Structure 1
Amino acid sequence: MSVHALPEKEIVAIILYISMFLMILAVVLIIFFYFSRQKIIQKELEKVDLILRYQKEQLHAIIFTQEEERKRIAQDLHDDISSKLNIVSLNSHLLTAPNLTETETAEITENIINLTTKALENSRKIAHNLLPPVFEKFGLSAGIEELCEEFESSKSVKTHYKNEIDFDEKDIDRHLHVFRILQELMSNSIRHGKATEIWISFANINGVNICDYKDNGVGFDSSNTENQKGLGMKNIDSRISFLQGTIEIASEINNGIVVNFTF
């Protein structure tokens, strides 16, 4: 019994159907990959947008902080230095008045000396707040030691400082951010936390610089994100971002605060 070959028309039809099927499959695959790619691109764009928005917020926080710092310095200069120098100027003019007694001259001269001395002390304080001389000359560790001494001079807090890192003097610009972070944390510990003891330690673990900070203050509920949205915390976040570091904050009511950050 012989097998008859399929008619030529049927062969052409089969080839045509197979070709159409393959074409439809190709179109479906192209559409599928196109929309999948679009979803991936969309997700990437959303991710980039989030990063840009975060960076924008950080930049705004830095600018706002700088502006607040400028306002504070301008206010200090106006209230302390300018007002005292104005009175010095008035007293200097009084010295030119005729018929001044020796006692009056001595009194005016003493006022001028006292006011000039106070203005000089205040100008030193303002300059010190901008960039402590010890920090500039001897680096971060010495700057923090002096900072601890300044806080302890109020007799309201005891500080414990330990450092295991040999800081590179070339990184002084970056270290200034670390110094400002600790300055902000210590101010918060005393002003808001009512702490009587503060612990600060530096260590290098697996090539990463780590700072551990804690106090024995009243603490707060760190699980509530609203508690970490103050200007001080925005300022700290901005500096951590600049340092390309990370920060973790843990606190409980009546149990102080623990802060760990890398830089």
Structure 2
Amino acid sequence: MLKAWLSTLKSYFIIYLRFIKNCFIAQMEYRTNFVLGIAVEIAYLFSKLLYVIVVYKTDLHIGDITPDGILMFVGTYTIMTGLYAGLFFTNFVRIPDYVRTGELDLLLVKPISLQFMVSLRYIDLGMPIPNLAAGITMVAIGWNALGIPVTFYNLCVFALYLAAALMITYGLMIIPALLSFWFVNTGGLAGIFYAIWDANNMPMPIYSRLIQRIGVYVLPFLVITNFAPMTVMGQLDKGLMLWGAAAPILLLAAVRLVWNKAIKNYSSASG
């Protein structure tokens, strides 16, 4: 059983590497667009850095979090923005079109998981570059300024919560696309989720207790950029640490259930 599961996992990993290769070849055919995409993302990044400038100029403190700590949060948000844009965004915006045009009919006959195919097929290799570079730099600067020990434990915990954040990002941001199986236009809902995503730009203590509870336990968007820095800063209790590990698993399981129901509800464009 385990051997078969590992073999399937290996097959999907090889397929995903092929997706990356194909996307790289396609993007390199239009190198000017590739470079311009990076340039546009750098421009957006500078607008995000205005937050950091204001934080340091005003010596902003959010509870016990100093400007250096806030820099770690903004850096984590920037890293996750790059990962979301590169791995998921292009795929999620295509799903409603697959449903509306009937292109999903062609994908249904592929001998691999349909959810895997439609949600992970396209990878943007340019947009994440400036965000990842800037985000990692901000986290490193904040980490060093706060005097957080660079230990194997701290690095592993930070990386694990980033991995959990990536799974939560997938689970939350695919919701508007899944609802397109029932509703013709989910653009308004997608806009709400993008606004929720932007709420991660600053530490969660700036929000009321009610919003924090909703953002941690109901729609766990606050877990995405808060739990990794809060853990290494010693500001996350054991209960929340356990929830940070459990939330992505529960969310992905719920998304899988909704996906299966959505496919059963799907009727092809040909009727």
TM norm structure 2: 0.28
Larger RCO: Structure 1 or Structure 2 (Cα < 8 Å, ≥ 6 residues apart)? 2
TM norm structure 1: 0.29
Q: Quick check: which one's strand share is greater?
A: 1
